[in-house]
Amino acid sequence: MSVQYFTKEGLEKLKAELNDLKTVQRPRISAQIAEARDKGDLSENAEYDAAKEAQGMLEARINQTESLVSTARLLENSMVDTSKVMVLSSVKVKNHNSKSTVTYQLVSETEADFKTGKISVKSPIGLGLLGKKVGEVAEVTVPAGTIKLEVIEIS
């Protein structure tokens, strides 16, 4: 798995999720399996089958999250080069199509949350803005068509 860059907040959130999966979800599913096993014949026990399937999905999620945490790298705001758009940059852009101005923060895929203005560096807009400098225009193809975004400010 490749290295993923996280903000301090994003990495803490990921670690908290992993802790919840291991300390809350895992024991709960184990209890469900034990309860279903106590009900008798396992060959015709739908509760047991469902609990085992849920356990398998939980363990897969735990493994995936552990792998993500092990390859995570913390990005500090002081490490961000503001001369061009890069991971963790906050970018104020002007949409030439709608004449509106919006600010995005480019983050890893796992931290992306469009409602809070955090977009993935691997999204069409994120990829289009990467490496741009103030004054440059990025032409980005999105589902609604092509938009032109002018970089106004990088912080």
Looking up residue 43, the CATH number of its domain turns out to be 1.10.287.180
Does pLDDT of 130 surpass 70? yes
Percent pLDDT > 70 in the chain is 95
| 96 token code pair | 């030439």
Q: What is the mean pLDDT of the chain?
A: 88
Residues 68 and 82 in one domain: no
Domain that holds residue 118: 77-154
More confident residue, 39 or 141: 141
Does pLDDT of 74 surpass 60? yes
Query: What's the CA gap between 68 and 122, in Å, rounded?
Result: 17
Task: Report, as an integer, the average pLDDT of 129-152.
Answer: 91
Residues 68 and 84 in one domain: no
Please report the pLDDT score of residue 80 as a whole number: 66
- Identify the domain boundary among 56, 74, 92: 74
Residues 60 and 126 in one domain: no
Please report the pLDDT score of residue 10 as a whole number: 83
State the pTM of this model: 0.67
Confidence of residue 66 (pLDDT cuts 50, 70, 90): very high
Residues 68 and 94 in one domain: no
Residues ≥6 apart with Cβ < 8 Å to 151: 85, 91, 92, 93, 129, 132, 133, 134, 135, 136, 137, 138
Residue among 155, 151, 108, 102 nearest 129 (CA): 151
Residue among 62, 61, 42 nearest 52 (CA): 42
- Identify the domain boundary among 12, 42, 74: 74
Residues 81 and 148 in one domain: yes
N-to-C CA span, the chain = 29
Q: How many domains does the chain have?
A: 2
Does pLDDT of 1 surpass 60? no
Residues 43 and 8 in one domain: yes
Residues 144 and 81 in one domain: yes
HSE, CB side, 13 Å, CA atoms: give it for residue 17: 17
